């Protein structure tokens, strides 16, 4: 999906008008319309503002990721005492065999979660 379509989809999901978004971006509703119609592309600062406003990554907006999950910072706590950054550091210091085992385990967990979501 292209940037213009994602922007329009996110705005409609949030149930806001182009005028509301334009006010947040400090631009005209016509500019928002141009972004959503693919006539113009937002500059980098506006792209960052859009990602923050919708709670998605710029990679998602640009079509580099299919996931529109909330953005997670490296210092976000996991399980009360680890951070995302800690886990990334740990993963980078594992042996190749341990990294493969970890990747396989994560894949199994993701498959299990997806199966549970489909049953719900």
63 within 8 A of 3, measured Cβ to Cβ: yes
DSSP code of 71? P
pLDDT band at 72 (very low <50, low <70, confident <90, very high): low
Q: What is the mean pLDDT of residues 57-74?
A: 76
Report the run of H or E that residue 49 belongs to, with start and end: helix 44-54
Greater model confidence, 118 or 2:
2
Predicted structure pTM score: 0.60
Condensed to tens digits (0 to 9), the pLDDT of residues 20-62 reads: 999 999 999 999 999 999 999 999 999 999 998 998 888 889 9
Three-state SS at 114: helix
pLDDT at 116 over 90: no
């Amino acid at each position: 999906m292209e940037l213009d379509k994602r922007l329009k989809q996110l705005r409609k999901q949030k149930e806001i008008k182009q005028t509301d978004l334009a006010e947040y971006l400090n631009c005209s509703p016509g500019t928002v319309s141009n972004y959503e119609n693919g006539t113009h592309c937002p500059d980098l600062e506006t792209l960052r503002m859009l990602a923050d406003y919708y709670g998605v990554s710029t990679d998602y907006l640009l079509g580099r990721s299919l996931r529109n999950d909330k953005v997670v910072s490296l210092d976000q706590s996991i399980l009360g005492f680890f951070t995302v950054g800690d886990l990334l550091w740990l993963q980078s210091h594992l042996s190749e065999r341990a990294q493969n085992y970890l990747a396989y385990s994560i894949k199994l967990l993701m498959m299990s979660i997806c199966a549970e979501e489909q049953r719900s």
